[in-house]
Structure 1
Amino acid sequence: MDLFDMDESELAARLQEAFASMTPERSPRAQAFHLAAALPARAAARDRDGQPWTVHLDDAGTVHATAADGTLVMGWAAVPQAVPEVLSPFEAGTRYRPAAPAVGDQATFDAQTKPTFPFPDDDDLEAAFDHTPHHLADLTAAIAELRRQWDTADVPDRVEQAAVHLRADAPQVPVLTLNEQEQMWCNAVSCGWVRTDAIVEAADPVWGVINRSGYARSSSWIPRAAAELLAEAPADLPGFLRHHLLDNEGPVDLVAINGPEGPLYNLNSGGAHRTHLCRILGLPWLFATQTALITPWEMTRKIKEADHWQGLIDHGLLHGAVDRGTYMASLRISHCPAPWMLAEPQIAAAYNAAYERAYPGALGRLGVPTHALTDATAWETWLLTPAAHAPARGLRRLLNLLLRTGRDAARQP
């Protein structure tokens, strides 16, 4: 029988049978070994040199690193070779390869150690707040311009008008989650000034509408806070901002989702009111802690997602391999420069649009045509249209199955 005419499940069974004698069950330590072996492929997919980093890795896998520009990153790595994955979410884009010293032969910690969750302390936060004074200067200048344009009595109406425009021009996107079930193999956090217009989700999904009980924390907080901010004397404004962005309740806490030319942000665990306020007022910068969204190694979804993933691969937007079952499909991921594209089309399209607003032309430079960015239907249609360089469907299916079964066998101890 022609292999191309075989039922896929039968073909997979034949191939699995051929490799059966080579695939004993993998031990936990072997899993760590194979994770370390696979990581270079993720690094190799990044085609630009990032900035130099100074890195300290302790015996528990805890990472403390500082970039050449002063960015502080801390986190945890399950194996030493995962250290670049701790740093890459805070590079200038996902295509940048951190210039970090090799630590694979230096570290001796047990690869199966439990995760640690380091977080910036007060001294780290103070240092990051003060490290780039031009951000605070830009922020005070923007507030001064609003004060010049808005009369005190008009602030509530102006805030509402600004919120209406923001809802129309830059609606919030859904929270991005990719594979919460995956066993953690690294984590990363940083702190510093972020572009306010890159924050695309803020817990309460309509700009200017905050659903909290009590007058003090409801939507009415926003115009009252705006009036207080604009009434602050210029000489006192830097101290006022420091108090409310750093000292009083701590910084806004975000999730950083790095993309090809820079990050987008979701709100993480605190700061919805301040985020809504700063976005509605159009302020340029916000001080925040940032926990990285780590692109998973594997995702499992309903079978219909397999074609979407294969479309990403065929269009050069994903390095990985699709494994199709009868009802479910799984994806093994080496690299995806725009990780939200791994999500279902409605979510991916929303993030595509948000990314284009924050980084105009960036997805076009990645190879996505403008017409595919208009909505979920256009995105899905383009994704499912075979790319000119993609292999024929039958051959592609055979190659994927051979790659998958052979890789599974080779990874076993």
Structure 2
Amino acid sequence: MIWRDGRGVFEAEVGALVVRGWSSTVEDMAALLARYGVGSSELADAAVSPVVAAAEWDHVRAGKLERDAEAWHTWLRAVAVGPERQVLRGRLGQLRTRIPAEPQDLAAWLGEQTEQVNATAPQVGEVAVFDGKGSVGYEPSREPEACSECLCWVDPRAIVSTPDRRWGDFDRMEAGRRSLVGFCETLRAADTAAALEEWIDDFTIGRLRQPVRLIRVEGPAGPVYVLRADGTHRAHFARVFGLPLLALVRTSALPRPLHVTDRPDGTTSRGAVRRAGMGPHDGR
């Protein structure tokens, strides 16, 4: 099912995913949904309003999955108990048996685990070109831009960048249940089925119903993910130990008009801009 209303709010069921968002035009909506494999034939048969929607922030907010607190909590719970939870439960059961009991041993063991991941899969720098921090100069926009998001389980190996650029190494005090040490200690203490389910709920949904937030960036070999908001410790823990991760995933921005450098000295001709092409390297 795919629909779009006169405000520009749209929603699409893509397999098991529900993708919701906002776009001023049908073309921008189609570009975002194409990232999830939605073709033009599927859009042709959908209840899609062709109206060019006003770029108003209230409309953008209406396109978010969290727009309605009660519906969001129900949807979050439904996705959190999906088949991936069984995989997560099994891996956590195996991980519990490996966690050292003594604090000194735990610190040394965690250091070994994180160093191994940093050596084989180090994080990268900026990935998304059009999200505001890339090295490519583009025309800024003061109006809301097309966006979409979905709630899904993510393979942590596809997370390539977080605010803390070394896995397991944070630039703030690491203490409490949300630290990697805290995750290990509380997981080891979850020695009953009920306690383990409670631990999983805390790790996936969060006590404040705030899953990890990722940005999906398209690429020729499939999407990768960037973390710039909530969930750094959970994302690091999932990456270090190969655990399925529940996340609220936002799509990276659509291509914008670029400043074209056309002078030998590297300066930019302000009048020369072009629309970045949509292709397999979109946004990356």
- Same fold per TM (> 0.5)? yes
Question: Which amino acid is 2:64 matched to?
Answer: F
Bigger helix share: 1
Question: Which amino acid is 2:258 matched to?
Answer: M
Q: Which has the higher contact order (CA 8 A, sep 6+)?
A: 2
**Match of 1:289?**
248
**Match of 2:184?**
226
**Match of 1:84?**
30
**Match of 1:56?**
3
Please give the TM-score of this superposition, normalised by the length of structure 1.
Answer: 0.56
Mapping 1:3-402, distance limit 5 Å: 54-67=1-14, 69-91=15-37, 97=39, 100-102=42-44, 107=49, 109-115=51-57, 116-117=60-61, 118-120=63-65, 121-130=72-81, 132-133=82-83, 135-153=84-102, 154-179=105-130, 180=132, 181-182=140-141, 184-213=144-173, 215-216=175-176, 221-233=179-191, 235-236=193-194, 237-249=196-208, 250-283=210-243, 285-300=244-259, 302=261, 330-339=273-282, 341=284
Shift of 1:328: 9.4
- Alignment partners' CA distance in 1, 2:245 and 2:26: 33
Q: Contact between 1:89 and 1:293, CA under 8 Å: does it hold in 2?
A: no
Q: Contact between 1:76 and 1:86, CA under 8 Å: does it hold in 2?
A: no
Identity %: 22
Alpha-carbon spacing, 1:233–1:301, altered in 2? closer, same or farther (3 Å): farther
Shift of 1:253: 0.7
Shift of 1:142: 1.4
Alpha-carbon spacing, 1:277–1:228, altered in 2? closer, same or farther (3 Å): same
Question: Which amino acid is 2:254 matched to?
Answer: T
Please give the TM-score of this superposition, normalised by the length of structure 2.
Answer: 0.79
Q: Deviations over 1:216-254 (max 9, x none)?
A: 489xx2123222223312513233211332041310011
Alpha-carbon spacing, 1:198–1:164, altered in 2? closer, same or farther (3 Å): same
Alpha-carbon spacing, 1:328–1:177, altered in 2? closer, same or farther (3 Å): farther
Alpha-carbon spacing, 1:304–1:293, altered in 2? closer, same or farther (3 Å): farther
> Aligned with 1:229: secondary structure?
helix
Q: Contact between 2:154 and 2:246, CA under 8 Å: does it hold in 1?
A: yes
* C-alpha RMSD of matched pairs (Å): 3.1
Alpha-carbon spacing, 1:231–1:105, altered in 2? closer, same or farther (3 Å): closer
Alpha-carbon spacing, 1:304–1:161, altered in 2? closer, same or farther (3 Å): farther
Q: Deviations over 1:10-64 (max 9, x none)?
A: xxxxxxxxxxxxxxxxxxxxxxxxxxxxxxxxxxxxxxxxxxxx11211101012
Alpha-carbon spacing, 1:106–1:326, altered in 2? closer, same or farther (3 Å): closer
Q: Which moved more, 1:224-233 or 1:264-273?
A: 224-233
- Alignment partners' CA distance in 1, 2:257 and 2:281: 16
Question: Which amino acid is 2:123 matched to?
Answer: Q
Structure 1's consecutive aligned runs of 4 or more residues displaced over 3 angstroms after TM superposition are: 96-99, 103-106, 108-113, 148-151, 182-185, 213-218, 301-305, 324-331
- Alignment partners' CA distance in 2, 1:286 and 1:259: 20
In the alignment, structure 1 segments of 5+ residues that lack a partner are 1-53, 308-323, 342-413
Alpha-carbon spacing, 1:328–1:286, altered in 2? closer, same or farther (3 Å): farther
Shift of 1:84: 1.7
Question: Which amino acid is 2:257 matched to?
Answer: E
Q: Which moved more, 1:267-276 or 1:253-262?
A: 253-262
Q: Contact between 1:73 and 1:190, CA under 8 Å: does it hold in 2?
A: yes
